[in-house]
Homo-oligomer: A and B are copies of this chain.
Amino acid sequence: MNAQEAIQRTLADIAARDGDVGAFVALADAAQAQRECERALAGGGALQGLAVGVKDIFDTAAFPTSYGSPLFAGHRPRSDAAIVQAIRRAGGVVVGKASTTEFAFLHPTATHNPRAPGHTPGGSSAGSAAAVAAGLVPLAVGTQTGGSVIRPASYCGVVGFKPGFGELPTPGLKPFSWSLDTVGLFTADVGTMAACAQAISGRPWARGLKDGAAPVFGVAWAYPWDELSASGRQALERAVAALRAAGATVREIDLPAWLGPVFQAHDAVQGWEAARTLADEYAFGRDRLSPILRDYLAQARGITDGDYAAALDAAAAGRAALDGLFDGIDVLLTPSAPGEPPAGYGSTGSSSWNRAWTLLHVPCLNVPGATGATGLPMGVQVIAPLRQEALCLKAGWVLEQALSRPPREGRDPASGA
């Protein structure tokens, strides 16, 4: 099967199966996909005609772009977002737009979780995570302002990668919070992620992925934002045991005291900026916003300058102190989400395990495979220092390999010690 046939088969597959998933809100027609595929193959990019789903928070000239809001129903941007052009240049074929919560906030989409029927896929990049989880596309693009890549990846049991802030191009993304909005990717496994992220970014992030010594992993058992849930603890213990069984070094660390204020600071940064970013929609389209977003923006308008300035100070201080956090370790492991995906579709879950890292601008990767107490997907998050995307992916690959081996007999994989 050549690339053209593969793309057409992908479209047919999505048409046949996405009714049950609800991952896509717009699809290429056959002729459009053929043109895009010809262009992708002619460019010789490394992705070689790979089918890609793009979160509907990015501008696309070839697809309607509604940012998950009725205010933009039928909107057709004049040009493509930079990430769409980067995908095309890398040889990828955008086959459709994946669902996003309204303006990438919390109002749920109609998307189902292919790995946890009856449970939320998470948000805001719901369609991107679900499309990869359902095997509809091998690669999808999302964004994270709080936990909108890592959380849905964890809930849907796929790999989600949020590189550092600004590492993948943001132009043409409908902004929510300009100090936080970060472009990320979804794939089924870490090897595919590294190859795709390298091809799209043009950065050597896949270099040395499977070579050399394993990174030193750090793990903490107490966090400033929440206690470990039973599922979070089980996933983390399983990851630690698997890494140790595979010969990797895992060090237990205490998280620095400044991390709590950084976590708290995320609220003020996001709210202050969102109130300004969506000021037009709030002023002229308030009645067509969801109640959860309308109330959030109304409340966010009350965040004081002092709150915002103090939050930026806390973030800057945290970034300046990151060397201390990573002292003696290469990467940090935490749960990717509070637990397994919540039941039902009324909420997309909580970003509490992601917000501080988003504000710190560090690369984060969800590695699936640890599973929670109920057997539903529960991911482990690999967090690396600023600008260490390659290290983040390498550590994720080591963890993925370790988790794929069966636990040894005679050893308690949940000891955590």
* Stretch from A82-90, A120-128, A256-264, A287-295 at the B interface: A82-90
Over the window 89-113 of chain A, the binary record of Cβ atoms lying under 8 Å from chain B Cβ atoms (1 yes, 0 no) is: 1000000000000000000000000
- Let me know if B279 and A86 touch, CB within 8 A: yes
Copies of the polypeptide in the assembly = 2
B residues near A312, Cβ cutoff 8 Å? 387
Could you tell me the distance between the alpha carbons of A71 and B279 in the complex, rounded to whole angstroms? 27
Task: Using known A-B contacts A78-B75, A202-B305, determine if residue A85 contacts B169 with beta carbons closer than 8 Å.
Answer: no
The 0/1 profile, CB within 8 Å of B marked 1, for residues 52-70 of chain A is 0000000001000000000
Determine if B79 and A280 form an interchain contact, defined as CB atoms under 8 angstroms apart.
yes
With A and B bound together, what is the CA distance between A105 and B387 in angstroms? 28
Report the contact-size class of chain A (Cβ under 8 Å from the partner). 35 or more
Q: How many whole Å from A278's CB to the nearest CB in chain B?
A: 8
Q: Name the distance in Å between A72's Cβ and chain B's nearest Cβ.
A: 6
A85 interface neighbour in B80, B280, B305, B387, Cβ under 8 Å: B280
Give complex CA distance A78, B75 in Å. 8
B178 close to A170 (CB less than 8 A) = yes
Q: Which residues of B contact A86 (CB under 8 A)?
A: 276, 279
Asked if B204 contacts A305 (CB within 8 A), the reply is yes
Q: A346 near B: Cβ within 8 Å?
A: no
In the bound complex, residues from chain B placing their C-beta under 8 Å from that of A75 are 78
- Asked if B82 and A78 sit within 8 Å, CB to CB, the answer is no
Taking a contact as CB atoms closer than 8 A, the residue among B84, B88, B277 that contacts A171 in the complex is B277
**A166 interfacial by beta-carbon distance below 8 Å:** yes
Cα A284 to Cα B277 in complex, Å, equals 29
A171 touches B166 (CB 8 A): no
CB distance from A279 to the nearest CB of B (A): 3
- On whether the beta carbons of A171 and B179 are closer than 8 Å, the reply is no
**A318 touches B (CB below 8 Å):** no
Assembled-state Cα–Cα distance A223/B226 (Å): 51
Which chain B positions have C-beta within 8 A of A175?
Answer: 82, 170-172
13 contacts between A and B (CB under 8 A): A75-B78, A79-B280, A79-B281, A79-B284, A82-B277, A82-B279, A82-B280, A84-B280, A89-B279, A169-B277, A172-B175, A203-B309, A309-B387
Counting from the closest, the 5 A-B pairs by CB-CB distance are: A85-B279, A171-B175, A79-B280, A80-B280, A171-B277
